Chains A and B, each alone.
Chain A
Amino acid sequence: MKISTIGYSVKQGIKNIFRNKMFSLASVATMGACIFLLGIFFCIVVNFQNMVKQAETGVSVSVYFVKGINQERISEIGDLIRKRVEVSECRFVSAEEAWSDFQKDYFKGNEDLAAGLEDDNPLADSEHYEIFLSDVSMQNSLVIYLQSLEGVRQVNKSEMVADTLSNFNVLIGYVSIGIIGILLAVSVFLISNTVIVGIAVRKEEIAIMKLIGATDVFIRAPFVVEGILIGLVGSGIPLILLHILYNEVVEFIEGRFSTLTIQFLTFLPSSYVFSKLIPMSLAIGLGIGFLGSFFTLRKHLKV
Protein backbone atom coordinates (compact mmCIF):
# COMPACT_ATOMS: atom_id res chain seq x y z
CA MET A 1 0.00 0.00 0.00
CA LYS A 2 1.34 3.41 -0.94
CA ILE A 3 1.82 6.22 1.57
CA SER A 4 -0.78 8.36 -0.20
CA THR A 5 -3.27 5.50 0.17
CA ILE A 6 -2.51 5.14 3.88
CA GLY A 7 -2.96 8.90 4.29
CA TYR A 8 -6.25 8.69 2.41
CA SER A 9 -7.46 5.80 4.58
CA VAL A 10 -6.64 7.60 7.82
CA LYS A 11 -8.34 10.78 6.62
CA GLN A 12 -11.37 8.84 5.47
CA GLY A 13 -11.50 6.88 8.73
CA ILE A 14 -11.51 10.10 10.76
CA LYS A 15 -14.16 11.58 8.46
CA ASN A 16 -16.32 8.49 8.94
CA ILE A 17 -16.11 8.90 12.70
CA PHE A 18 -17.39 12.46 12.50
CA ARG A 19 -19.94 11.64 9.84
CA ASN A 20 -21.59 9.07 12.11
CA LYS A 21 -21.15 11.12 15.27
CA MET A 22 -23.83 9.38 17.28
CA PHE A 23 -22.58 5.95 16.45
CA SER A 24 -18.95 6.74 17.05
CA LEU A 25 -19.89 8.35 20.34
CA ALA A 26 -21.88 5.30 21.39
CA SER A 27 -18.99 3.01 20.51
CA VAL A 28 -16.45 5.15 22.34
CA ALA A 29 -18.78 5.31 25.35
CA THR A 30 -19.36 1.58 25.54
CA MET A 31 -15.73 0.81 24.90
CA GLY A 32 -14.82 3.42 27.52
CA ALA A 33 -17.24 1.93 30.04
CA CYS A 34 -15.75 -1.51 29.54
CA ILE A 35 -12.18 -0.30 29.89
CA PHE A 36 -13.20 1.80 32.89
CA LEU A 37 -14.72 -1.20 34.68
CA LEU A 38 -11.78 -3.30 33.68
CA GLY A 39 -9.44 -0.64 35.07
CA ILE A 40 -11.31 -0.38 38.36
CA PHE A 41 -11.21 -4.09 38.64
CA PHE A 42 -7.55 -4.21 37.83
CA CYS A 43 -6.75 -1.58 40.48
CA ILE A 44 -8.69 -3.50 43.11
CA VAL A 45 -7.18 -6.83 42.18
CA VAL A 46 -3.54 -5.73 42.11
CA ASN A 47 -3.90 -3.86 45.38
CA PHE A 48 -5.71 -6.68 47.04
CA GLN A 49 -3.21 -9.22 45.86
CA ASN A 50 -0.46 -7.00 47.09
CA MET A 51 -2.10 -6.72 50.49
CA VAL A 52 -2.68 -10.44 50.64
CA LYS A 53 0.92 -11.06 49.74
CA GLN A 54 2.12 -8.73 52.42
CA ALA A 55 -0.19 -10.31 54.93
CA GLU A 56 1.00 -13.72 53.81
CA THR A 57 4.63 -12.94 54.44
CA GLY A 58 3.59 -12.03 57.96
CA VAL A 59 1.89 -15.36 58.54
CA SER A 60 4.21 -17.56 60.55
CA VAL A 61 4.16 -20.87 62.33
CA SER A 62 6.02 -21.21 65.61
CA VAL A 63 7.48 -24.51 66.76
CA TYR A 64 8.23 -24.93 70.49
CA PHE A 65 10.31 -27.76 71.89
CA VAL A 66 9.84 -30.23 74.75
CA LYS A 67 11.59 -29.39 78.01
CA GLY A 68 15.24 -30.41 78.26
CA ILE A 69 15.78 -30.94 74.55
CA ASN A 70 19.42 -30.79 73.45
CA GLN A 71 20.84 -28.36 70.89
CA GLU A 72 21.61 -31.22 68.52
CA ARG A 73 18.00 -32.24 68.18
CA ILE A 74 16.94 -28.61 67.78
CA SER A 75 19.21 -28.15 64.78
CA GLU A 76 18.08 -31.52 63.39
CA ILE A 77 14.50 -30.29 63.51
CA GLY A 78 15.63 -27.06 61.87
CA ASP A 79 17.17 -29.01 58.99
CA LEU A 80 14.00 -31.05 58.54
CA ILE A 81 11.89 -27.91 58.43
CA ARG A 82 14.10 -26.19 55.88
CA LYS A 83 13.81 -29.20 53.56
CA ARG A 84 10.08 -28.60 53.12
CA VAL A 85 9.27 -26.85 49.84
CA GLU A 86 6.52 -24.66 51.26
CA VAL A 87 8.91 -23.10 53.78
CA SER A 88 10.38 -19.85 52.62
CA GLU A 89 12.21 -18.96 55.79
CA CYS A 90 12.97 -20.69 59.07
CA ARG A 91 14.50 -18.65 61.85
CA PHE A 92 15.66 -19.80 65.24
CA VAL A 93 14.55 -17.53 68.04
CA SER A 94 16.42 -18.02 71.29
CA ALA A 95 14.77 -17.35 74.66
CA GLU A 96 16.74 -14.11 74.99
CA GLU A 97 15.62 -12.86 71.61
CA ALA A 98 12.03 -13.76 72.36
CA TRP A 99 12.24 -11.77 75.52
CA SER A 100 13.76 -8.70 73.93
CA ASP A 101 11.21 -8.85 71.10
CA PHE A 102 8.50 -9.02 73.71
CA GLN A 103 10.01 -6.07 75.53
CA LYS A 104 10.12 -4.04 72.36
CA ASP A 105 6.47 -4.71 71.71
CA TYR A 106 5.08 -4.21 75.17
CA PHE A 107 7.37 -1.91 77.08
CA LYS A 108 7.79 0.66 74.41
CA GLY A 109 8.50 4.01 76.02
CA ASN A 110 9.05 2.66 79.52
CA GLU A 111 12.07 0.41 79.08
CA ASP A 112 13.00 0.80 82.76
CA LEU A 113 9.99 -1.29 83.70
CA ALA A 114 11.38 -4.18 81.74
CA ALA A 115 14.85 -3.66 83.13
CA GLY A 116 13.64 -4.97 86.48
CA LEU A 117 12.99 -8.35 84.99
CA GLU A 118 16.33 -8.46 83.17
CA ASP A 119 17.98 -11.26 85.12
CA ASP A 120 14.97 -13.47 85.30
CA ASN A 121 13.77 -14.11 81.76
CA PRO A 122 10.08 -14.93 82.06
CA LEU A 123 10.21 -16.57 78.66
CA ALA A 124 12.93 -19.05 79.53
CA ASP A 125 11.22 -21.90 77.70
CA SER A 126 10.27 -19.89 74.68
CA GLU A 127 13.07 -20.72 72.31
CA HIS A 128 11.48 -21.73 69.02
CA TYR A 129 11.62 -21.77 65.25
CA GLU A 130 9.70 -19.14 63.45
CA ILE A 131 8.65 -20.44 60.03
CA PHE A 132 7.45 -18.31 57.13
CA LEU A 133 5.57 -19.94 54.32
CA SER A 134 5.85 -19.31 50.61
CA ASP A 135 2.35 -20.71 50.18
CA VAL A 136 -0.17 -20.13 52.94
CA SER A 137 -2.50 -22.85 51.73
CA MET A 138 0.12 -25.45 52.74
CA GLN A 139 0.03 -24.37 56.38
CA ASN A 140 -2.19 -27.19 57.68
CA SER A 141 -0.20 -30.03 56.20
CA LEU A 142 2.99 -28.45 57.47
CA VAL A 143 1.56 -28.19 60.98
CA ILE A 144 0.55 -31.86 60.97
CA TYR A 145 4.05 -32.78 59.87
CA LEU A 146 5.66 -30.60 62.51
CA GLN A 147 3.52 -32.09 65.27
CA SER A 148 4.70 -35.55 64.30
CA LEU A 149 8.34 -34.64 64.85
CA GLU A 150 10.06 -35.94 67.98
CA GLY A 151 11.04 -33.20 70.40
CA VAL A 152 8.26 -30.83 69.36
CA ARG A 153 6.06 -29.69 72.24
CA GLN A 154 3.73 -27.28 70.59
CA VAL A 155 3.01 -25.75 67.20
CA ASN A 156 1.32 -22.37 67.01
CA LYS A 157 -0.32 -21.30 63.82
CA SER A 158 -2.49 -18.44 62.71
CA GLU A 159 -5.41 -20.49 61.57
CA MET A 160 -8.00 -17.94 60.64
CA VAL A 161 -5.76 -15.60 58.71
CA ALA A 162 -4.09 -18.25 56.62
CA ASP A 163 -7.24 -19.97 55.45
CA THR A 164 -9.14 -16.80 54.73
CA LEU A 165 -6.31 -15.23 52.83
CA SER A 166 -5.56 -18.16 50.61
CA ASN A 167 -9.23 -18.75 49.86
CA PHE A 168 -9.73 -15.10 49.10
CA ASN A 169 -6.80 -15.05 46.78
CA VAL A 170 -8.09 -17.96 44.75
CA LEU A 171 -11.58 -16.47 44.64
CA ILE A 172 -10.30 -13.11 43.45
CA GLY A 173 -8.28 -14.82 40.76
CA TYR A 174 -11.34 -16.58 39.37
CA VAL A 175 -13.66 -13.63 39.66
CA SER A 176 -11.22 -11.31 37.92
CA ILE A 177 -10.65 -13.71 35.05
CA GLY A 178 -14.41 -14.13 34.70
CA ILE A 179 -15.30 -10.46 34.74
CA ILE A 180 -12.46 -9.39 32.48
CA GLY A 181 -13.45 -12.12 30.04
CA ILE A 182 -17.05 -10.96 29.98
CA LEU A 183 -16.06 -7.31 29.50
CA LEU A 184 -13.76 -8.14 26.61
CA ALA A 185 -16.42 -10.24 24.93
CA VAL A 186 -18.92 -7.38 25.30
CA SER A 187 -16.43 -4.93 23.80
CA VAL A 188 -15.70 -7.13 20.81
CA PHE A 189 -19.41 -7.59 20.26
CA LEU A 190 -20.05 -3.84 20.41
CA ILE A 191 -17.26 -2.83 18.06
CA SER A 192 -18.24 -5.53 15.65
CA ASN A 193 -21.85 -4.36 15.79
CA THR A 194 -20.79 -0.77 15.14
CA VAL A 195 -18.89 -1.89 12.08
CA ILE A 196 -21.81 -3.98 10.84
CA VAL A 197 -24.10 -0.96 11.12
CA GLY A 198 -21.44 1.18 9.43
CA ILE A 199 -21.32 -1.29 6.57
CA ALA A 200 -25.10 -1.44 6.30
CA VAL A 201 -25.34 2.36 6.17
CA ARG A 202 -22.66 2.52 3.50
CA LYS A 203 -23.63 -0.61 1.63
CA GLU A 204 -24.47 1.29 -1.52
CA GLU A 205 -21.27 3.29 -1.37
CA ILE A 206 -19.24 0.13 -0.92
CA ALA A 207 -20.95 -1.49 -3.91
CA ILE A 208 -20.13 1.57 -6.03
CA MET A 209 -16.50 1.52 -4.91
CA LYS A 210 -16.26 -2.11 -5.92
CA LEU A 211 -17.71 -1.38 -9.35
CA ILE A 212 -15.10 1.32 -9.87
CA GLY A 213 -12.42 -1.29 -9.17
CA ALA A 214 -11.51 -0.67 -5.53
CA THR A 215 -9.85 -3.64 -3.84
CA ASP A 216 -11.21 -5.09 -0.61
CA VAL A 217 -8.20 -3.76 1.28
CA PHE A 218 -8.79 -0.26 -0.06
CA ILE A 219 -12.44 -0.34 1.04
CA ARG A 220 -11.67 -1.90 4.41
CA ALA A 221 -8.79 0.33 5.43
CA PRO A 222 -10.91 3.35 6.51
CA PHE A 223 -13.17 1.06 8.57
CA VAL A 224 -10.17 -0.50 10.29
CA VAL A 225 -8.74 2.95 11.00
CA GLU A 226 -12.13 3.91 12.41
CA GLY A 227 -12.15 0.84 14.67
CA ILE A 228 -8.62 1.45 15.89
CA LEU A 229 -9.27 5.12 16.64
CA ILE A 230 -12.48 4.32 18.50
CA GLY A 231 -10.58 1.68 20.45
CA LEU A 232 -7.76 4.06 21.35
CA VAL A 233 -10.00 6.97 22.32
CA GLY A 234 -12.34 4.57 24.12
CA SER A 235 -9.47 3.31 26.27
CA GLY A 236 -7.62 6.62 26.62
CA ILE A 237 -10.49 8.56 28.22
CA PRO A 238 -11.21 6.03 30.99
CA LEU A 239 -7.47 5.85 31.72
CA ILE A 240 -7.39 9.56 32.44
CA LEU A 241 -10.48 9.26 34.65
CA LEU A 242 -9.06 6.23 36.42
CA HIS A 243 -5.80 8.00 37.12
CA ILE A 244 -7.57 10.90 38.78
CA LEU A 245 -9.93 8.59 40.63
CA TYR A 246 -7.20 6.27 41.86
CA ASN A 247 -5.20 8.99 43.53
CA GLU A 248 -8.32 10.47 45.10
CA VAL A 249 -9.58 7.17 46.45
CA VAL A 250 -6.20 6.10 47.83
CA GLU A 251 -5.79 9.44 49.53
CA PHE A 252 -9.29 9.24 50.96
CA ILE A 253 -8.93 5.70 52.33
CA GLU A 254 -5.47 6.32 53.73
CA GLY A 255 -6.70 9.46 55.42
CA ARG A 256 -9.82 7.83 56.79
CA PHE A 257 -8.24 4.66 58.09
CA SER A 258 -4.79 5.96 58.84
CA THR A 259 -4.34 3.63 61.81
CA LEU A 260 -4.90 0.56 59.69
CA THR A 261 -2.76 1.68 56.84
CA ILE A 262 0.54 0.75 58.36
CA GLN A 263 -0.21 -2.90 58.96
CA PHE A 264 -2.68 -3.86 56.31
CA LEU A 265 -3.94 -1.18 53.94
CA THR A 266 -0.84 -0.47 51.95
CA PHE A 267 -1.73 0.75 48.48
CA LEU A 268 0.48 0.40 45.45
CA PRO A 269 1.71 3.72 44.06
CA SER A 270 -0.33 4.91 41.09
CA SER A 271 2.81 5.09 38.96
CA TYR A 272 3.23 1.35 39.41
CA VAL A 273 -0.41 0.47 38.82
CA PHE A 274 -0.66 2.67 35.73
CA SER A 275 2.65 1.55 34.28
CA LYS A 276 0.83 -1.76 33.85
CA LEU A 277 -2.70 -0.51 33.25
CA ILE A 278 -1.92 2.04 30.51
CA PRO A 279 -0.17 -0.28 28.06
CA MET A 280 -2.63 -3.04 28.88
CA SER A 281 -5.71 -0.89 28.23
CA LEU A 282 -4.33 0.74 25.10
CA ALA A 283 -3.33 -2.64 23.74
CA ILE A 284 -6.78 -4.03 24.49
CA GLY A 285 -8.46 -0.96 22.93
CA LEU A 286 -6.28 -1.12 19.86
CA GLY A 287 -6.56 -4.88 19.59
CA ILE A 288 -10.33 -4.95 19.98
CA GLY A 289 -10.72 -2.02 17.59
CA PHE A 290 -8.53 -3.68 15.00
CA LEU A 291 -9.70 -7.27 15.33
CA GLY A 292 -13.35 -6.33 15.82
CA SER A 293 -13.43 -4.30 12.63
CA PHE A 294 -11.08 -6.50 10.62
CA PHE A 295 -12.91 -9.78 11.11
CA THR A 296 -16.36 -8.22 10.86
CA LEU A 297 -15.37 -6.65 7.55
CA ARG A 298 -14.02 -9.90 6.26
CA LYS A 299 -17.30 -11.58 7.02
CA HIS A 300 -19.63 -8.85 5.78
CA LEU A 301 -17.79 -7.22 2.93
CA LYS A 302 -18.54 -9.49 0.04
CA VAL A 303 -20.32 -8.04 -2.98
Chain B
Amino acid sequence: MISLEHVTKSYTVGVPAVKDLNLQIEKGEFVFVVGNSGSGKSTLLKLLIKELEPTEGRIVVNGQELNTMKRKQIPKFRRGIGFVYQDFRLLKDRNVYENIAFAQRVIQTPGKQIKRRVPAMLSMIGLAEKYRSFPKELSGGEQQRVALARALVNDPNILLADEPTGNLDPKNSWDIMKLLEEVNETGTTVVVVTHNREIVNAMKKRVVALDDGAIISDEKKGVYENEN
Protein backbone atom coordinates (compact mmCIF):
# COMPACT_ATOMS: atom_id res chain seq x y z
CA MET B 1 0.00 0.00 0.00
CA ILE B 2 2.80 2.39 0.97
CA SER B 3 6.39 1.67 0.09
CA LEU B 4 9.53 3.79 0.41
CA GLU B 5 12.91 2.66 -0.90
CA HIS B 6 16.04 4.61 -0.06
CA VAL B 7 14.12 7.87 0.12
CA THR B 8 16.06 11.03 0.88
CA LYS B 9 14.66 14.53 0.93
CA SER B 10 16.85 17.62 1.29
CA TYR B 11 15.23 21.07 1.45
CA THR B 12 18.69 22.59 1.18
CA VAL B 13 21.47 20.81 -0.64
CA GLY B 14 23.48 18.58 1.69
CA VAL B 15 21.04 18.91 4.63
CA PRO B 16 18.60 16.00 4.41
CA ALA B 17 15.34 16.25 6.40
CA VAL B 18 14.81 12.55 5.88
CA LYS B 19 17.56 10.26 4.72
CA ASP B 20 17.64 6.81 3.15
CA LEU B 21 14.21 5.81 4.46
CA ASN B 22 13.00 2.26 3.84
CA LEU B 23 9.46 1.62 4.96
CA GLN B 24 6.64 -0.74 3.97
CA ILE B 25 3.09 -0.25 5.23
CA GLU B 26 0.49 -2.85 4.28
CA LYS B 27 -3.14 -2.28 3.47
CA GLY B 28 -5.27 -1.92 6.59
CA GLU B 29 -2.38 -1.22 8.95
CA PHE B 30 -2.46 1.36 11.75
CA VAL B 31 0.93 3.01 12.20
CA PHE B 32 2.15 5.66 14.62
CA VAL B 33 5.10 7.79 13.55
CA VAL B 34 6.90 9.34 16.50
CA GLY B 35 10.05 11.37 16.98
CA ASN B 36 11.42 14.67 18.18
CA SER B 37 10.48 17.96 16.68
CA GLY B 38 12.39 18.37 13.42
CA SER B 39 13.02 14.66 13.01
CA GLY B 40 11.27 14.61 9.61
CA LYS B 41 7.79 13.26 10.39
CA SER B 42 5.85 15.91 8.47
CA THR B 43 8.33 15.69 5.63
CA LEU B 44 7.69 11.96 5.39
CA LEU B 45 3.92 12.41 5.16
CA LYS B 46 4.19 15.20 2.60
CA LEU B 47 6.31 12.98 0.40
CA LEU B 48 3.49 10.42 0.40
CA ILE B 49 0.98 12.77 -1.30
CA LYS B 50 3.55 14.21 -3.68
CA GLU B 51 3.42 17.60 -2.03
CA LEU B 52 7.18 17.21 -1.92
CA GLU B 53 9.41 15.45 -4.41
CA PRO B 54 12.08 13.14 -2.98
CA THR B 55 15.64 14.13 -3.72
CA GLU B 56 16.43 10.47 -4.10
CA GLY B 57 14.62 7.14 -3.85
CA ARG B 58 11.39 5.53 -4.96
CA ILE B 59 7.91 5.94 -3.44
CA VAL B 60 4.84 3.84 -4.25
CA VAL B 61 1.46 4.72 -2.77
CA ASN B 62 -1.86 3.03 -3.54
CA GLY B 63 -0.08 1.04 -6.23
CA GLN B 64 1.11 4.19 -7.98
CA GLU B 65 4.73 5.07 -8.60
CA LEU B 66 5.06 8.72 -7.52
CA ASN B 67 8.30 9.52 -9.31
CA THR B 68 6.90 8.89 -12.75
CA MET B 69 3.39 10.16 -12.08
CA LYS B 70 2.21 12.75 -14.59
CA ARG B 71 0.95 16.16 -13.48
CA LYS B 72 -2.52 15.37 -14.75
CA GLN B 73 -2.78 12.23 -12.64
CA ILE B 74 -1.96 13.94 -9.35
CA PRO B 75 -5.46 15.23 -8.45
CA LYS B 76 -7.03 11.81 -8.88
CA PHE B 77 -4.26 10.17 -6.88
CA ARG B 78 -4.69 12.62 -3.98
CA ARG B 79 -8.43 12.03 -3.80
CA GLY B 80 -7.81 8.51 -2.56
CA ILE B 81 -5.89 9.85 0.43
CA GLY B 82 -7.22 11.77 3.41
CA PHE B 83 -4.69 14.15 4.91
CA VAL B 84 -4.89 16.02 8.20
CA TYR B 85 -2.29 18.78 8.31
CA GLN B 86 -0.41 19.83 11.38
CA ASP B 87 -1.45 23.40 10.53
CA PHE B 88 -5.00 22.33 9.48
CA ARG B 89 -4.98 24.16 6.14
CA LEU B 90 -8.66 24.99 6.13
CA LEU B 91 -10.03 27.35 3.51
CA LYS B 92 -10.21 30.63 5.42
CA ASP B 93 -12.90 32.15 3.28
CA ARG B 94 -15.39 29.31 3.82
CA ASN B 95 -17.29 28.16 6.84
CA VAL B 96 -16.99 24.77 8.51
CA TYR B 97 -19.74 23.23 6.38
CA GLU B 98 -18.20 24.46 3.13
CA ASN B 99 -14.73 23.32 4.14
CA ILE B 100 -15.92 19.78 4.56
CA ALA B 101 -18.22 19.93 1.52
CA PHE B 102 -15.35 21.20 -0.59
CA ALA B 103 -13.62 17.81 -0.56
CA GLN B 104 -16.84 16.34 -1.94
CA ARG B 105 -17.32 19.02 -4.57
CA VAL B 106 -13.82 18.31 -5.83
CA ILE B 107 -14.81 14.75 -6.69
CA GLN B 108 -18.11 16.00 -8.16
CA THR B 109 -20.36 14.40 -5.57
CA PRO B 110 -24.04 15.12 -6.29
CA GLY B 111 -25.40 17.97 -4.16
CA LYS B 112 -27.99 15.74 -2.51
CA GLN B 113 -25.34 13.40 -1.22
CA ILE B 114 -23.25 16.30 0.12
CA LYS B 115 -26.26 17.56 2.08
CA ARG B 116 -26.58 14.18 3.75
CA ARG B 117 -22.93 13.38 4.31
CA VAL B 118 -21.58 16.67 5.67
CA PRO B 119 -23.99 16.95 8.63
CA ALA B 120 -23.19 13.34 9.53
CA MET B 121 -19.47 14.21 9.61
CA LEU B 122 -20.20 17.33 11.66
CA SER B 123 -21.98 15.43 14.39
CA MET B 124 -19.27 12.78 14.33
CA ILE B 125 -16.64 15.39 15.22
CA GLY B 126 -19.01 17.11 17.65
CA LEU B 127 -19.26 20.42 15.79
CA ALA B 128 -22.84 20.21 14.54
CA GLU B 129 -23.74 23.60 16.00
CA LYS B 130 -20.73 25.42 14.61
CA TYR B 131 -21.24 24.53 10.98
CA ARG B 132 -21.56 28.20 10.00
CA SER B 133 -18.42 29.36 11.80
CA PHE B 134 -15.36 30.38 9.85
CA PRO B 135 -11.97 28.85 10.69
CA LYS B 136 -10.76 32.00 12.48
CA GLU B 137 -13.75 31.77 14.81
CA LEU B 138 -12.75 28.27 15.95
CA SER B 139 -10.27 27.10 18.56
CA GLY B 140 -7.22 25.14 17.45
CA GLY B 141 -8.79 21.87 18.55
CA GLU B 142 -12.00 22.64 16.68
CA GLN B 143 -10.11 23.47 13.50
CA GLN B 144 -8.21 20.23 13.87
CA ARG B 145 -11.46 18.28 14.02
CA VAL B 146 -12.80 20.04 10.94
CA ALA B 147 -9.59 19.11 9.12
CA LEU B 148 -10.14 15.51 10.17
CA ALA B 149 -13.73 15.53 8.97
CA ARG B 150 -12.60 16.90 5.62
CA ALA B 151 -9.99 14.16 5.34
CA LEU B 152 -12.53 11.44 6.06
CA VAL B 153 -15.58 12.70 4.19
CA ASN B 154 -14.71 10.85 0.97
CA ASP B 155 -13.91 7.52 2.65
CA PRO B 156 -10.23 7.45 1.63
CA ASN B 157 -8.16 4.26 1.27
CA ILE B 158 -5.37 5.88 3.22
CA LEU B 159 -5.55 8.40 6.06
CA LEU B 160 -2.43 10.40 6.85
CA ALA B 161 -2.80 12.46 10.02
CA ASP B 162 -0.09 14.87 11.16
CA GLU B 163 -0.58 15.36 14.91
CA PRO B 164 -4.39 15.21 14.82
CA THR B 165 -4.55 15.56 18.59
CA GLY B 166 -1.86 18.19 18.98
CA ASN B 167 -4.31 20.85 20.15
CA LEU B 168 -6.80 18.67 22.00
CA ASP B 169 -7.39 17.97 25.67
CA PRO B 170 -6.94 14.32 26.81
CA LYS B 171 -10.65 13.52 26.57
CA ASN B 172 -10.96 14.86 23.01
CA SER B 173 -7.66 13.26 22.04
CA TRP B 174 -8.96 9.88 23.06
CA ASP B 175 -12.21 10.43 21.16
CA ILE B 176 -10.30 11.26 18.02
CA MET B 177 -7.99 8.27 18.41
CA LYS B 178 -10.98 6.00 18.89
CA LEU B 179 -12.45 7.49 15.74
CA LEU B 180 -9.24 6.79 13.81
CA GLU B 181 -9.28 3.25 15.09
CA GLU B 182 -12.86 2.81 13.85
CA VAL B 183 -11.88 4.17 10.48
CA ASN B 184 -8.99 1.72 10.43
CA GLU B 185 -11.34 -1.14 11.23
CA THR B 186 -13.32 -0.42 8.07
CA GLY B 187 -10.16 -1.20 6.08
CA THR B 188 -8.54 2.21 5.76
CA THR B 189 -4.78 2.33 6.16
CA VAL B 190 -4.00 4.88 8.89
CA VAL B 191 -0.70 6.64 9.53
CA VAL B 192 -0.68 8.97 12.54
CA VAL B 193 2.14 11.30 13.53
CA THR B 194 1.94 12.09 17.23
CA HIS B 195 3.81 13.24 20.31
CA ASN B 196 1.19 11.74 22.63
CA ARG B 197 3.13 9.15 24.57
CA GLU B 198 0.17 8.01 26.65
CA ILE B 199 -1.98 7.19 23.65
CA VAL B 200 0.80 5.44 21.74
CA ASN B 201 1.64 3.28 24.72
CA ALA B 202 -1.97 2.41 25.39
CA MET B 203 -3.05 1.56 21.85
CA LYS B 204 -0.42 -1.08 21.13
CA LYS B 205 -0.05 -0.38 17.41
CA ARG B 206 2.96 -0.43 15.12
CA VAL B 207 5.30 2.43 16.00
CA VAL B 208 7.90 3.87 13.65
CA ALA B 209 10.36 6.16 15.42
CA LEU B 210 12.32 8.79 13.51
CA ASP B 211 15.39 10.62 14.69
CA ASP B 212 17.21 13.19 12.62
CA GLY B 213 15.53 11.96 9.44
CA ALA B 214 16.26 8.27 9.90
CA ILE B 215 14.19 5.36 11.23
CA ILE B 216 15.67 4.29 14.54
CA SER B 217 13.05 1.73 15.45
CA ASP B 218 10.01 0.06 13.89
CA GLU B 219 8.06 -2.27 16.15
CA LYS B 220 4.75 -4.01 16.02
CA LYS B 221 2.75 -3.27 19.19
CA GLY B 222 5.45 -0.79 20.05
CA VAL B 223 5.72 1.91 22.65
CA TYR B 224 6.79 5.52 22.57
CA GLU B 225 10.45 5.74 23.35
CA ASN B 226 12.05 9.02 24.15
CA GLU B 227 15.80 9.04 24.09
CA ASN B 228 15.99 12.13 26.23
B83 on interface, CB distance cutoff 8 Å:
yes
| Choice from A19, A202, A204, A214 contacting B106 with Cβ under 8 Å | A214
Q: Which residue of A lies closest to B76 (CB)?
A: A213
> Is B75 touching A214 in the complex (CB atoms < 8 A)?
yes
In B166-212, the 8 Å CB interface with A consists of none
Report the nearest B residue to A7, measured CB to CB. B111
- Contact in complex: A4, B108 (CB < 8 Å): yes
Measured between beta carbons, the chain A residues less than 8 angstroms from B111 are 4
**A208 — which chain B residues lie within 8 A by C-beta?**
89-91
Q: How distant is A22 from chain B, measured CB to nearest CB, in Å?
A: 16
Query: Contact between A211 and B105 (Cβ–Cβ < 8 Å)?
Result: no
Residues in chain A near residue B121, CB distance under 8 A:
none
Does B107 interact with chain A (Cβ within 8 Å)?
A: yes
| Cross-chain contact B93 with A19 (CB below 8 angstroms) | yes
A2 interface residue, CB < 8 Å from B? yes
Given A211-B49, A213-B79; A8-B105 close (CB under 8 Å)? yes
Contact between chains at B106 and A209 (CB < 8 Å) = yes
Q: A212 to B106, Cβ gap below 8 A?
A: yes
Q: A212-B78, A215-B75 are in contact. Are A5 and B93 (CB under 8 A)?
A: no
Contact B83 A211 (CB under 8 A): yes
Interface check A243, CB cutoff 8 A: no
Distance of B46 from chain A, by nearest CB (Å):
9
Chain A: interface residue total (CB-CB under 8 A): 18
| Distance of A210 Cα from B150 Cα, bound (Å) | 14
- Contact between B75 and A210, CB atoms less than 8 A apart: yes
User: Closest B-chain residue to A16, C-beta based?
Assistant: B93
Interface of A is mostly: helix
Tell me, yes or no, whether A89 is within 8 Å of chain B by CB.
Answer: no
Which of chain A's residues have a CB closer than 8 A to the CB of B83?
A: 211-212
User: Are B103 and A212 touching (Cβ within 8 A)?
Assistant: yes
**CB pair B150 A212 closer than 8 Å:** yes
| B102 adjacent to chain A (CB < 8 Å) | yes
- For residue A57, give the distance in angstroms from its CB to the closest CB of chain B: 61
When the two chains form the complex, which single residue of A19, A205, A211 contacts B51, counting CB atoms closer than 8 Å? A211
A28 CB, nearest partner CB in chain B, Å = 21
Nearest B residue to A215 via CB reads: B75
Shortest Cβ gap from B15 to chain A (Å): 24
A218 within 8 Å of B (CB atoms) = yes
Can you list, as one digit per residue, whether each of B60-84 has a CB less than 8 Å from chain A (1) or not (0)?
0000000000000011111100010
Query: Does the CB pair B107–A213 fall under 8 Å?
Result: yes
Contact with A along B7-38 (1 / 0, CB 8 A): 00000000000000000000000000000000
Is the beta-carbon distance between B78 and A213 smaller than 8 angstroms?
Answer: yes
Taking a contact as CB atoms under 8 Å apart, the answer to whether A205 and B92 are in contact is yes
Chain A residue nearest to B110 (CB atoms) is A4
- Closest A residue by C-beta to B78: A213
CB distance from A251 to the nearest CB of B (A): 49
Q: Are B89 and A211 in contact (CB under 8 A)?
A: yes
Residues of A in contact with B (beta carbons under 8 Å apart): 2, 4-5, 8, 19, 202, 204-205, 208-216, 218
Knowing that A2-B108, A5-B108 touch, tell me 4 more A-B residue pairs with CB under 8 angstroms.
Answer: A204-B92, A209-B106, A211-B51, A213-B106
The 9 closest A-B pairs by CB, nearest first: A213-B79, A213-B78, A214-B106, A215-B75, A213-B75, A208-B89, A2-B108, A4-B111, A212-B103
Question: Could you name 27 residue pairs across A and B whose Cβ atoms are closer than 8 Å?
Answer: A2-B108, A4-B108, A4-B110, A5-B105, A5-B108, A8-B105, A205-B91, A208-B91, A210-B74, A210-B75, A210-B78, A211-B49, A211-B78, A211-B83, A211-B89, A212-B78, A212-B79, A212-B83, A212-B102, A212-B106, A213-B75, A213-B76, A213-B79, A213-B103, A213-B106, A214-B75, A215-B75
